[in-house]
Homo-oligomer: A and B are copies of this chain.
Amino acid sequence: MLTKNQSQINLRSDAGLATALRVSLARLTRRLRRQAAAHSLTPTQFATLAAVERHSAITPGELAELEKVQPPSMTRVIAALEERGLVSRTPHPTDRRQVTVTVTEAAQKLLKEERRLKEAWLSQRLRELTAEERSILRQAAPILEKLSRI
Protein backbone atom coordinates (compact mmCIF):
# COMPACT_ATOMS: atom_id res chain seq x y z
CA MET A 1 0.00 0.00 0.00
CA LEU A 2 2.96 2.23 -0.51
CA THR A 3 1.97 3.31 -3.92
CA LYS A 4 -0.30 6.21 -3.08
CA ASN A 5 0.99 9.57 -4.08
CA GLN A 6 2.35 10.99 -0.92
CA SER A 7 2.78 14.61 -1.75
CA GLN A 8 -0.21 16.61 -2.70
CA ILE A 9 1.68 19.46 -1.12
CA ASN A 10 1.08 22.79 -2.74
CA LEU A 11 4.50 23.83 -3.89
CA ARG A 12 3.32 27.25 -4.94
CA SER A 13 3.18 28.68 -1.45
CA ASP A 14 6.31 29.24 0.58
CA ALA A 15 4.78 27.20 3.37
CA GLY A 16 4.16 24.33 0.99
CA LEU A 17 7.69 24.52 -0.32
CA ALA A 18 8.93 24.62 3.24
CA THR A 19 6.94 21.52 4.11
CA ALA A 20 8.15 19.60 1.10
CA LEU A 21 11.77 20.53 1.74
CA ARG A 22 11.62 19.79 5.44
CA VAL A 23 10.17 16.33 5.02
CA SER A 24 12.50 15.31 2.22
CA LEU A 25 15.56 16.71 3.94
CA ALA A 26 14.83 14.83 7.14
CA ARG A 27 14.36 11.57 5.30
CA LEU A 28 17.41 12.02 3.12
CA THR A 29 19.60 12.89 6.06
CA ARG A 30 18.41 9.83 7.92
CA ARG A 31 19.20 7.74 4.91
CA LEU A 32 22.65 9.19 4.53
CA ARG A 33 23.37 8.66 8.17
CA ARG A 34 22.50 5.04 7.90
CA GLN A 35 24.63 4.68 4.83
CA ALA A 36 27.55 6.14 6.69
CA ALA A 37 27.22 3.73 9.58
CA ALA A 38 29.27 1.14 7.75
CA HIS A 39 32.29 3.39 7.64
CA SER A 40 34.75 4.48 10.21
CA LEU A 41 33.61 8.04 10.99
CA THR A 42 30.13 9.23 11.88
CA PRO A 43 28.66 11.91 9.64
CA THR A 44 29.11 14.54 12.31
CA GLN A 45 32.72 13.60 12.84
CA PHE A 46 33.32 13.57 9.14
CA ALA A 47 31.76 16.98 8.59
CA THR A 48 33.75 18.42 11.48
CA LEU A 49 37.01 16.90 10.32
CA ALA A 50 36.39 18.31 6.86
CA ALA A 51 35.74 21.73 8.35
CA VAL A 52 38.96 21.56 10.36
CA GLU A 53 40.81 20.63 7.20
CA ARG A 54 39.38 23.60 5.33
CA HIS A 55 40.03 26.10 8.11
CA SER A 56 43.27 24.98 9.61
CA ALA A 57 44.07 26.27 13.10
CA ILE A 58 40.42 26.89 13.87
CA THR A 59 39.08 27.09 17.41
CA PRO A 60 36.32 24.87 18.85
CA GLY A 61 34.02 27.85 19.23
CA GLU A 62 34.39 28.80 15.60
CA LEU A 63 33.80 25.22 14.57
CA ALA A 64 30.63 25.10 16.65
CA GLU A 65 29.36 28.22 14.97
CA LEU A 66 30.22 26.87 11.54
CA GLU A 67 28.48 23.58 12.08
CA LYS A 68 25.58 25.18 13.91
CA VAL A 69 25.98 23.19 17.09
CA GLN A 70 26.54 24.33 20.65
CA PRO A 71 30.11 24.44 21.97
CA PRO A 72 29.73 21.43 24.28
CA SER A 73 28.63 19.27 21.37
CA MET A 74 31.68 20.35 19.44
CA THR A 75 33.91 19.59 22.41
CA ARG A 76 32.76 16.00 22.29
CA VAL A 77 33.29 15.63 18.57
CA ILE A 78 36.79 17.08 18.82
CA ALA A 79 37.58 14.81 21.75
CA ALA A 80 36.54 11.78 19.71
CA LEU A 81 38.64 12.91 16.77
CA GLU A 82 41.66 13.61 18.97
CA GLU A 83 41.40 10.22 20.61
CA ARG A 84 41.68 8.64 17.17
CA GLY A 85 44.69 10.76 16.30
CA LEU A 86 42.91 12.71 13.59
CA VAL A 87 43.19 16.19 15.02
CA SER A 88 45.53 17.79 17.50
CA ARG A 89 44.76 20.49 19.99
CA THR A 90 47.43 23.08 20.55
CA PRO A 91 47.36 26.19 22.73
CA HIS A 92 46.28 29.36 21.04
CA PRO A 93 49.30 31.57 20.34
CA THR A 94 48.02 34.67 22.12
CA ASP A 95 44.94 33.73 24.16
CA ARG A 96 45.44 30.92 26.61
CA ARG A 97 41.72 30.37 27.03
CA GLN A 98 41.50 29.26 23.47
CA VAL A 99 42.65 26.17 21.64
CA THR A 100 43.51 25.69 18.01
CA VAL A 101 42.59 22.52 16.24
CA THR A 102 44.40 21.12 13.21
CA VAL A 103 44.15 17.90 11.24
CA THR A 104 46.91 15.33 11.36
CA GLU A 105 48.46 13.70 8.33
CA ALA A 106 46.58 10.52 9.08
CA ALA A 107 43.37 12.53 8.87
CA GLN A 108 44.15 13.86 5.43
CA LYS A 109 44.67 10.39 4.10
CA LEU A 110 41.56 9.12 5.82
CA LEU A 111 39.48 12.05 4.64
CA LYS A 112 40.33 11.30 1.08
CA GLU A 113 39.31 7.69 1.37
CA GLU A 114 36.22 8.41 3.46
CA ARG A 115 35.02 10.96 0.97
CA ARG A 116 35.23 8.42 -1.77
CA LEU A 117 33.28 5.86 0.25
CA LYS A 118 30.78 8.16 1.87
CA GLU A 119 29.71 9.81 -1.31
CA ALA A 120 29.29 6.56 -3.14
CA TRP A 121 25.67 6.01 -2.24
CA LEU A 122 24.49 9.52 -3.01
CA SER A 123 26.57 9.68 -6.18
CA GLN A 124 25.02 6.48 -7.37
CA ARG A 125 21.56 7.89 -6.71
CA LEU A 126 22.53 11.06 -8.57
CA ARG A 127 23.67 9.06 -11.57
CA GLU A 128 20.23 7.51 -11.69
CA LEU A 129 18.68 10.93 -12.21
CA THR A 130 18.35 12.57 -15.60
CA ALA A 131 20.89 15.16 -16.68
CA GLU A 132 18.29 17.85 -16.25
CA GLU A 133 17.48 16.80 -12.72
CA ARG A 134 21.14 16.84 -11.82
CA SER A 135 21.43 20.26 -13.33
CA ILE A 136 18.62 21.53 -11.12
CA LEU A 137 20.28 20.07 -8.06
CA ARG A 138 23.53 21.76 -9.03
CA GLN A 139 21.73 25.06 -9.04
CA ALA A 140 19.95 24.25 -5.80
CA ALA A 141 23.05 23.16 -3.89
CA PRO A 142 24.43 26.65 -3.21
CA ILE A 143 20.99 27.85 -2.18
CA LEU A 144 20.60 25.03 0.30
CA GLU A 145 24.07 25.79 1.53
CA LYS A 146 23.05 29.40 2.04
CA LEU A 147 19.90 28.37 3.88
CA SER A 148 21.87 26.06 6.13
CA ARG A 149 24.25 28.83 7.01
CA ILE A 150 21.86 31.47 8.26
Binding site for B on A (CB under 8 A): 1-2, 4, 6-7, 11, 14-15, 17-32, 34, 43-44, 47, 50-51, 54-55, 58-59, 62, 65-69, 115-116, 118-119, 122-123, 125-129, 133-134, 136-150
Contact = CB atoms under 8 A, between A and B. Distances in A.
A20 to B, nearest CB: 4
Contacts of A20: 141-142, 145
- Copies of this chain in the oligomer: 2
Given A136-B136, A138-B11, A145-B7, A47 B26 contact: yes
A88 B129 CA distance: 39
B127 A15 contact: no
A4 B144 CA distance: 18
Contacts of A24: 141, 144-145, 147-148
